[in-house]
Amino acid sequence: MRKILIVGNWKMHLNASQASLLLHRLHERIKIHRDVEVVLAPSMLVLQPLSVQIDRRKFRLATQNAFHIDEGAYTGEVSFTMLRDLVHYAIIGHSERRHVFGEPLDLIRDKVAAAVRNEITPILCVGETKTEKVAGETEKVLHDQVVSGLSNMTAREVAKMVIAYEPVWAISSGSNYAHHEIATPEQVERVAKFIRHNIEELYGPKAAKMVRILYGGSSNAENAKAYLSTPGIDGLLPGGASLNYHEFSGMVRTAYRLQRERIEA
């Protein structure tokens, strides 16, 4: 059974003291569970102080971004090599990196390779925009993003990776979930099946079975059970909801309950 993975993407929020306080609130509410991994992705600025404060039996850290070259004259950049002792995971190819910062497929491919090279597990984000969805291009977009993102990987490396499906049309910009479209569990299930099919064709059935697929489009405590119960989905990548300790700890509790039910069954 694949471990459920709940990854909180704090995006560009919280200074060092605010992040420390949020971590403290989460520590009070979240229990250790060997079949659920809880990952926090704060800003680059607070990764180091949180790494000292964090209870590693409960939480792991992820970076939201890093530079794909290990070292050199790149003023202002932070490489995966610099982060390898701080983080277990790296979010790569998030829709905001693709669409706000214009990161192309080949750069995302190189970042995936750099993460693996530095023993950091990539969380490769894939997803289509509203325009691409309406044009019926969802599968083409996902195929291109998955195939290019994994193109330097071996089957064994792919099996250990995480892929997050985050349809751009379903991502909210904050805690207000009422005024934008939500992906249904049925839509998410179809996409997870499609992603695994792509991986199986390229890397074989074992890699396709072992890779973990998350859903990341405005997930919250209210809809967590529906998405976590979706066949082929192994966890969630919330954004705005991860800044609210009630919401985020509620999502983790839902994951605990579902894993317990599966084990007992």
Q: Tell me what pLDDT residue 201 has.
A: 97
| CA–CA separation, 89 and 125 (whole Å) | 13
Q: Which of 94, 96, 128, 247 is catalytic?
A: 94
Please give the share of the chain, as a percent, with pLDDT higher than 90. Answer: 89
Mean pLDDT for all residues in the chain: 94
Residue 9 β-bridge partners: 41
Token representation of residue 112: 């995936």
State pLDDT tens for residues 3-31: 999 999 999 999 999 999 999 999 999 99
Q: Tell me what pLDDT residue 9 has.
A: 97
Task: Identify the residue with better confidence: 186 or 34.
Answer: 186
> Do 136 and 116 touch, CB atoms closer than 8 A?
no
Q: What average pLDDT does range 36-45 have in this prediction? A: 97
| CA–CA separation, 172 and 170 (whole Å) | 6
50: DSSP letter:
H
Q: What average pLDDT does range 144-169 have in this prediction? A: 96
Q: Tell me what pLDDT residue 46 has.
A: 96
Amino acid at 64: Q
Is 172's pLDDT higher than 70?
A: no
> Is-catalytic flag, 261?
no
Q: Tell me what pLDDT residue 40 has.
A: 98
Least confident of 20-34, 86-100, 163-177: 163-177
Q: How far is CA 100 from CA 7, 93, 95, 173, in A?
A: 21, 11, 8, 13
> Is-catalytic flag, 37?
no
Instruction: Name the pLDDT band for 175 (thresholds 50, 70, 90).
Output: very low
Q: Tell me what pLDDT residue 173 has.
A: 52
Q: Which of 37, 128, 157, 166 is catalytic?
A: 166
| CA–CA separation, 165 and 182 (whole Å) | 13
| Domain range summary for the chain, segments of one domain joined by + | 4-264
Least confident of 40-44, 58-62, 180-184, 236-240: 180-184
Answer yes or no: CATH 2.30.42.10 is held by domain 4-264: no
Is 218's pLDDT higher than 90?
A: no
